[in-house]
Amino acid sequence: MATSRWTAAVEAPQVSPRRRGPVLERAILDAALEQLSTVGWNALTMEGVAAGAQTGKAAVYRRWSSKAELVADALRSGLPDLDRADDHGSVREDLYQLCLRLREAMYSRSGFALRSVLYECDAASAERFHGMVLRRLVEPAQRLFREAVQRGIERGDVRPDATAEVIFDVIPGLMMFRAKVRGSEWPDEAVAEMIDHVMVPLLRAGTA
pLDDT digits (tens, 9 = 90+) for 36-90: 888 988 899 999 999 999 999 999 999 999 998 999 899 888 887 777 888 999 9
Q: For the CA atoms of 160, 208, 99, 180, what is the dihedral angle to 10 degrees?
A: 140
pLDDT tens digits, 7-38: 333 343 343 556 678 899 999 999 999 998 88
Is the pTM higher than 0.85? The answer reads no
- Give the side-chain half-sphere CA count within 13 A for 43: 10
pLDDT at 3: 44
Q: Which residues contact 39 (CB under 8 A, 6 or more apart)?
A: 48
Cβ atoms of residues 24 and 55 within 8 Å: yes
At residue 102, does pLDDT exceed 90?
Answer: no
